[in-house]
Amino acid sequence: MKTTEVIVAFILTLSLLSFPSLGFQSDELLVDDEEFGLEGAPQPRSPEPIPSRSQPVTTPTRKRHSDLDSDSKIQFSLDHAFGDSDFTPAGTFSARLKTWSHGGQTLTKLRFSRNSFTDEEKEKFKNLLESDDFYRIRLPSNVLSPPGRDFIISSVKARCLPREGLDEHFVIHMEGINVLAVNYGSPGSCPYPRNLKLPAKWSFNSHTVLKNSEQAPRAPVFTEEILGGENGEGEVVPPPERSFWAKYWMYLIPLGLIVMNAITQAMNLPEEQATGQVPAQGQPSGGAMQRGPSSAVRRR
């Protein structure tokens, strides 16, 4: 069992290595991811799209007259609720608000500090675990003037969280200074028959990721390319040489079958003769010769 776990872990790490585009699994807080602070921003070629991406927020009211990009620290709080209870503060996100010269604002360097559960909360959480109920969190939809238009709510079955401690994973989808949605859940899987399991220690192990929108790939425009393509076709790229087997397998297999068939028949023939020999006790060649007339006789 342990070996399989090792293998699984190995494969996981391998897959992580081979797919860096979804490699935001590191549980590291966003300490220094350049100035964008986009841990896990899938496109490493982001410097070009970034300025245009933040254009949507360019509302004239937010335009600042400073040419310099300015930073300021902001905080916003995370609230939680147990089942259908009311929301209570559970932690604080702190981040740096970066104001771009063209007016856009983005958050960088998001940090999260979780309040540890009080005894009462522990008790509530245990109740949730027992009844397989929802643990709900909420964030303001605007980080500058919370709560903005409405709160962003997300919830998870409480039984998905406990592992060693309580593992949680936030993916906060941002649009400038607005929070669109938050994907909240356990960092790994949470298979369906959720078993009751109490955490060994009552401390949260939080992972947070900020996500902004990706730029869509442009539709390919070829006007010259088509010409180029035609030129390229003129050269006629020789198809890669395939092996003899790959080319002629369809002939070889029937041939093989025929050969096999012939061999088995050849094997059977002596056997038959051998069985036929027992009563005749004569030469093997004679038996075959005799059979013809005898059958002819029978037919008459």
| Of 60 and 279, CB closest to other proteins | 60
Residue 11: phi and psi, rounded to 5, are -65, -40
Residue 221, both tokens: 């425009």
Smallest separation, CB 155 to other proteins (Å) = 5
What pairing do the DSSP bridges indicate for beta strands 70-82 and 88-99?
A: antiparallel
| Of 193 and 279, CB closest to other proteins | 193
Q: Which residues of 54-92 are buried (b: 16+ CB within 10 A; e: fewer)?
A: beebeeeeeeeeeeeeeeeeeebbbbbbbeeeebeebbe
CA distance 216 to 240: 34
| Of 56 and 254, CB closest to other proteins | 56
CA distance 143 to 146: 6
Asked whether the beta carbons of 158 and 142 are under 8 A apart, the reply is no
Residue numbers at the binding site for other proteins (CB under 8 A): 4, 11-12, 15, 19, 21-22, 52-53, 55-57, 59, 84, 132, 134, 136, 141-142, 148-157, 160, 169, 171, 173, 175-176, 178-181, 183-194, 211, 213-222, 225, 229, 232, 239-240, 296
Smallest separation, CB 240 to other proteins (Å) = 7
CA distances from 100 to 106, 142, 227 (A): 8, 18, 42
Smallest separation, CB 159 to other proteins (Å) = 9
Residue 20, both tokens: 């860096």
Smallest separation, CB 50 to other proteins (Å) = 12
Tell whether omega for the bond before 147 is within 30 degrees of 0, i.e. cis.
yes
Smallest separation, CB 264 to other proteins (Å) = 25
Residue 247, both tokens: 């080319």
Smallest separation, CB 234 to other proteins (Å) = 14
Residue 182 forms beta bridges with which residues?
172
Smallest separation, CB 100 to other proteins (Å) = 15
| Of 220 and 279, CB closest to other proteins | 220
| Of 192 and 244, CB closest to other proteins | 192
| Of 95 and 160, CB closest to other proteins | 160
Q: What's the one-letter identity of residue 132?
A: D
Smallest separation, CB 4 to other proteins (Å) = 6
| Of 55 and 268, CB closest to other proteins | 55
| Of 163 and 273, CB closest to other proteins | 163
Give the list of residues 6+ apart from residue 138 with CB closer than 8 angstroms, or none: 78, 79, 80, 81, 87, 151, 152, 153, 154
How many CB atoms are located within 10 Å of the residue 230 CB? 9
